[in-house]
Chain A
Amino acid sequence: MSNTNYILGHFENPDDLMHGIEKLQENNIGIYDVFTPMPIHGIEAKLGIKRSRLPIAAFCFGLVGTLTAFSMVYYMLVYDWPMNVGGKPAFAMPDFVPIMFELTVLFGAFGMVFTFFYANHLFPGRAPRVMDMRATNDRFVIAIDIQSNPYPEKIDNLLKESGAVEVKHNDRKYVSYE
């Protein structure tokens, strides 16, 4: 048991998982992370994770898109090369709207997705840092760091009591590295 670095509690469904988290928290055991095959609603509140600020990023990127589109079209049609088409004004604002809208969406969507990838270190070819292979399939896994919670037997019992179907002791943090 001395080699154990992480304890993983496997649960079979989200309700048991939430119950497990509650049990651990009641006993002041810090949870390293939770890995699940699907999003669990309400888990952020339970784990005290702050609201994501991605929507704010999306808004800012979108705004950048709007301004880019407007200044681009304005520069090209009004400032750099205004054309007299039957005496109509070069600054035909309504005609700018579709481009401004499209670039808002384009910048907003791409900006937000790339911020998401950046924040979570997701990129093609990144070595997956998976603590348990079944966490992407059918198990809801709570990971507990032994360094900060040095009482493995108590954790084992708590996890089993709260409905864990399997408890694993891992000496390696990430099992996905071959």
Chain B
Amino acid sequence: MSAHNESILREPLITGENITYSKITDDILAPVENKPNKAWWIGFTVAALFALLWVVSISYTFWTGLGAWGLNKTVGWAWDITGFVWWVGIGHAGTLISAVLLLFRQNWRNSINRSAEAMTIFAVICAATYILAHLGRVWLAYWCFPLPNQFGSLWVNFNSPLIWDVFAISTYFSVSLVFWYTGLLPDIATVRDRAAGLRRRIYSVLSFGWNGSVKTWQRFEAVSLILAGVSTPLVLSVHTIVSFDFATSLEPGWHTTIFPPYFVAGAIFSGFAMVQTLLLIARKVMKCENYITMFHIESMNKVIIVTGSIVGVAYLTELFIAWYSGVEYEQYAFLNRVSGPYWWAYWTMMTCNVISPQLFWFKKIRTSVMASWILSIVVNIGMWFERFVIIVTSLHRDYLPSSWVMFYPSVVDVCLFIGSIGVFFTLFLLFLRVLPGIAIAEVKLILKSSSHQEKQKLIREQKVDTEHAEFYQKSLIKYDSVSQPEYVNA
């Protein structure tokens, strides 16, 4: 894989002139080795302020109890579980990029996997805070684990999906963390060997003494492959189990077998949208246009359109099956979603998730940085509403009309949600400062096979078909990191 034979027809994964191995190191480590620029400080300050808001609102929740939220007797799950599922879903794209795309040998993952994995970890942290907060008495969180009766409870109920969720989310978090950190070791070693003084000491501890010998790399590759192999079913199982939290109940609108695939598709959909939101900014601020190219952006947009369409089909299937089932509670649940008091949430969801991603069928839109970024935000909003619709509209009017209520979020609910976004961005911005945001070793791996300069060299040396060469040159039109005359004349 180091050097050989990639078809000239494939678009380049690395653009730019005179890219050498040392230039890759310099470029990627620039944000780590230099003082942060103004954009970073502005972003960090804003994010940290919101994170502070989170600290205040979560502290207030712990202090007063769940009464601080807008929950009531009928709607016992609302913004918190919506936030939880939203964040867990966002996290899934990281694992998908790092594991599934590795198994499928998609080399374009190499420059986006690191930051996507970091995103996974931070998103799962945000998700976990909701779950812990929703326990009410967070200091008794260890009751979720199977502890003997002397602790004051029976064994946990292993027949309950909520307990499966405890195991799934904690396994997912810890395995993702290990996967991410193992992948980071060679890159931390790179930082270490270029640093001096205290920085070197710190990175030396963090690098675990990595030295890049043959045997180390060989075992490293084995570990990466096996971890990818186990993470793939893991990521599917996690969101499947999250959907079981709903699907195994008897609540109209939740009790459906379509939930696992529908949730998994939704998770990938929202995750890729969040990767897009973050990376489009990061590539600009970190000046990584040569490594995260238009091909990467377009590929992610294609994943978004596929998963968005799957989600759309799932919505329609749900509607059809509700009608076809003949169960009046099920039918009412969906009628209420579409035209009840929360109709605006349902139609926001439909517009943001099903209709607007279809714009990516147009090549102009899918290869435009601005349009991709705006649509990624739209998808994020839509997926938040999806979870809100599923949770709140099912609960607020289920069986007994005498218990029907509306849900109104409290100020704390809102602050907690906005704050968790702040926590996420604070962590992500810190990550970009202290650790390489792109997997250096993995980008080096594809330099000789998939870079623009190597392909140009092949064309100059006339080693490829002229027709193929022309096709290749034409495919470069969409790249914003390749200047126009370069391909017109070549």
Contact = CB atoms under 8 A, between A and B. Distances in A.
Interface of A: 12-15, 33-44, 47, 49, 52, 54-55, 58, 62, 72-73, 76-77, 80-81, 83, 85, 92, 95-96, 98-99, 101-103, 105-106, 108-110, 112-113, 116-117, 119-131, 133-138, 176
A28 to B, nearest CB: 19
A109 B227 contact: yes
A39 B204 contact: no
A99 B149 CA distance: 20
Contact of B194 (A39, A55, A76, A137): A137
B21 A124 contact: no
B146 interface: yes
A38 B441 contact: yes
A92 B237 contact: no
8 closest A-B pairs by beta carbon, nearest first, are: A126-B209, A138-B22, A138-B21, A122-B208, A76-B155, A98-B164, A39-B217, A52-B222
A85 B160 CA distance: 13
A47 B214 contact: yes
Interface in B140-170: 146, 149, 154-156, 158-159, 161, 163-164, 167-168
A76 B178 contact: no
Given A44-B218, A101-B237, A38 B444 contact: yes
A123 B209 contact: yes
A127 to B, nearest CB: 6
Contacts of B214: 33-34, 36, 40, 43-44, 47, 49
Most A C-beta atoms less than 10 A away, residue of B186, B193, B444: B193
Contacts of B22: 137-138
A101 B220 CA distance: 24
Given A129-B211, A135-B211, 14 more contacts: A39-B221, A41-B1, A49-B218, A52-B218, A52-B222, A54-B223, A80-B155, A99-B163, A112-B223, A113-B223, A125-B205, A128-B189, A128-B192, A137-B193
Contacts of A126: 208-209
Contact of A105 (B149, B192, B212, B230): B230
Contact of B230 (A33, A39, A109): A109
A73 B230 CA distance: 22
Most A C-beta atoms less than 10 A away, residue of B159, B204, B440: B159
Interface string B230-259: 110110010001001000000000000000
B193 A41 contact: no
11 contacts: A12-B21, A13-B3, A33-B213, A73-B158, A98-B164, A113-B223, A124-B206, A133-B194, A136-B192, A137-B22, A137-B193
B164 A128 contact: no
A93 to B, nearest CB: 11
Contacts of B21: 12-13, 37, 137-138
Contacts of A120: 215-216, 219
A168 to B, nearest CB: 15
B226 interface: yes
Contacts of B182: 113, 116
Given A80-B155, A110-B174, A117 B208 contact: yes
Contacts of B233: 101, 105
B219 A119 contact: yes
Given A58-B226, A120-B216, A110 B178 contact: yes
B217 A40 contact: yes
A122 B164 contact: no
B179 interface: yes
B175 A36 contact: no
- The secondary-structure label for the interface of chain B is helix
A34 to B, nearest CB: 5
A100 B146 CA distance: 14
Contacts of A101: 233, 237
B448 interface: yes
A13 B178 contact: no
Contacts of A133: 193-194
Most B C-beta atoms less than 10 A away, residue of A58, A98, A176: A98
Nearest to B155: A76
A38 B230 contact: no
A156 to B, nearest CB: 22
A99 B161 CA distance: 10
B217 A130 contact: no
A39 B237 contact: no
A110 B170 CA distance: 13
Contact of A129 (B163, B179, B209, B244): B209
Contacts of B174: 106, 110
B40 interface: no
A44 B213 CA distance: 11
A96 B448 CA distance: 48
Nearest to B190: A136
A109 B175 contact: yes
Nearest to B234: A105
Contacts of A110: 174-175, 178
